[in-house]
Structure 1
Amino acid sequence: MSKAGYVLAAGMLASAMAVAQEPAPVSDEEMQAAYQQHVEDILASVSPEHGIIALKGAPVSLDVPEDFDFYDSAESQTILEDLWGNPPDSTILGMLFPAGETAASSVWGAVLTYEATGYVSDEDAASQDYDALLASMQKQTREANPEYKRQGYPTVELVGWAVPPSYDAQSHGVSWAKDLVFDDSETHTLNYDMRLLGRRGVLSVNFVAPIDAVGEVKDVAPDVLDIPHFDPGSTYADYVDGDKKAGYGVAALIAGTTGAVVAKKLGLLGVGLLVLKKGWIIVLALLGGVGGWFKRTFGGGARD
């Protein structure tokens, strides 16, 4: 056989192998069933905790009542990465959900993180103009979006306050909620933030939910903020001269939660929660690790 013949034969064999190896198309119903099984397998690997729990990675203890379910750091990362398709994030210390609801059915989820930033002054909390702060945050977000898009993160529009900021001088807790829209989506995401100030840093309790759940989240937020407590020696009142200071106040703490943090941590998280709640698995399949799971499982897309 001539050299050209070998080339032709090799090409024909490669084409035949490609046809033979091409995965059979799967229907939306098959994908739905397979993904539902995938969800059930993941949820079977996590189990909620209650009672007094030392929060690993922070000088904080939790008192989790039966009304809520707590998942530790490893289980929360399983939920966020394997179930919701978020990128890996080792800063997640845990998650809270309403008792009896799963990460695939709950209307909200709350993510716990801690930053050892130092002591955050609350002197500006009572006098801050939060409407002016909002305008500044919106401008910051618009200006930063091109860079987030270049890095592959969702762009975000900060529509406004869903709940204006408020500060409790007794508990040293600050809370506020933002109305967000990612990319060109018409779906609004509620980003409800709470911060508990401590001697050496700040505990973050971040809710993500659809915007129409703002009333439900607002009602439950005080109860959720009652769950964590800084350990003795680490409370806000334990601050003494000479301790490390963050160098900023409550207003900067609020403003610092827009931009990259929102786009990176909440883009997929928010979409994932909405998708799982409504069962839009085709949309979720396009996101991060979950997309990889679909490719490994099916090797191709759904047929029309």
Structure 2
Amino acid sequence: MNIQHMRRGFAVAAACTLSLLAANSATAQQPEEGQDLFQGLNVHDGPGTLRLKTIAEVKLPGECGYLNGTDTSRLMKRLGNPSKGGELGSVLGDHCIAVFEFDPVGYVKDDEKDDLDPDELMDSLRKNTAEANKERAKMGAAPMHIKGWYKKPYYDEGTHNLEWIITGESEGVDNLNVNTRILGRKGVMTVTLITSPETIDQDLPVYRKWLEGFDYQAGQKYGEYRSGDKVAEYGLMALVAGGGAAALAKGGFFKSFWKLIVAGLAAAGAFIKKLFKKKQS
């Protein structure tokens, strides 16, 4: 990947999306016109290995860039997305960005794998988004709306990956939030792919290739569960609904869900679309 080319694309796109970034966070710093959003960040070229602390790693092919957790958090803030520093790393493609975070909730049982009711889950997601919009209104940010499923929730028993894709809209801009949850022994790796409707068909195969290189470290794998390990208080249905209906009442978890909505729905539409159209030209 030509990182210098990517940097020029981000700088041009930032100048075009100041109003969107300001809406995402009341305290976010708006990037100045011509600002290099990668300034001071250590962007690695693939192929290489993205190490997600001592939890997991991702072996990446060429034609991508990747950032460690600290630099990913800095980039998210520069894009106007609220960040508490929980990002473990990110991968940059020609048309998309994948952000990795880990939630140490314990072992999530997959006994609901045959009971993922898409209608019930969509109802929960819309209700949770309505609650998130109340928080956005307090910040003076535009509301977001879920239009429906681009891909209904699917659980892969072989990889222990749970994935779904939501079509959303904010201020008239349609965008996509690709959500993957990789179950582990001690928690769940959350991977959020930020992309757009125009490029998702070519982005998804690239994203799948990245995830093929993902692996938990020894002792962290789902199949290494032992009696006595911490078990999560909720299952697969709650993971899709937003991290657990009961857990949403807890401030930290609600903030995490709200953050993903911001990153996936708000940033994806206008930012990614303008960014990569400029980059390609």
Structure 1 length as normaliser, TM-score?
Answer: 0.69
CA offset digits 1:279-299 (Å, max 9, x no partner): 6xxxxxxxxxxxxxxxxxxxx
1:144 deviates by 4.2
Alignment partner for residue 86 of structure 2, among 77, 81, 91?
91
- What corresponds to 1:155 in structure 2? 143
Matches within 5 A, 1:283-294: none
2:57 matches 1:48:
no
1:38 deviates by 1.6
2:133 matches 1:145:
yes
Q: Unaligned regions of 5+ residues in structure 2, if any?
A: 1-14, 17-30, 244-253
Alignment partner for residue 35 of structure 2, among 21, 34, 38?
38
Identity of aligned residues (%): 25
Distance 1:150 1:75, change over 3 A: same
1:189 deviates by 1.2
Alignment partner for residue 122 of structure 1, among 100, 106, 110?
110
Structure 2 length as normaliser, TM-score?
Answer: 0.75
- What corresponds to 2:55 in structure 1? 59
2:258 matches 1:260:
yes
In 2, distance between residues paired with 1:141 and 1:48?
35
- What corresponds to 1:277 in structure 2? 276
2:217 matches 1:219:
no
Distance 1:202 1:239, change over 3 A: same
Which portions of structure 1, spanning 4 or more consecutive aligned residues, are displaced by more than 4 angstroms?
A: none
Q: Name the SS for the 2:35 alignment partner.
A: helix
Question: Quick check: 1:180–1:189 contact (8 Å CA) kept in 2?
Answer: yes
1:145 deviates by 2.0
Q: Unaligned regions of 5+ residues in structure 1, if any?
A: 1-30, 99-105, 280-304
Question: Quick check: 1:194–1:225 contact (8 Å CA) kept in 2?
Answer: no
CA offset digits 1:96-143 (Å, max 9, x no partner): 122xxxxxxx32111111111101111101222112211222233234
Question: Quick check: 2:59–2:210 contact (8 Å CA) kept in 1?
Answer: no
Matches within 5 A, 1:4-83: 37-39=34-36, 42-43=38-39, 45-49=41-45, 50-56=47-53, 58-82=54-78
1:237 deviates by 0.2
1:262 deviates by 3.5
Task: Compute the RMSD of aligned alpha carbons.
Answer: 2.7
In 2, distance between residues paired with 1:121 and 1:143?
27
In 1, distance between residues paired with 2:152 and 2:146?
13
Alignment partner for residue 155 of structure 2, among 148, 163, 167?
167
- What corresponds to 2:96 in structure 1? 108
Which is worse superposed, 205-214 or 113-122? 205-214
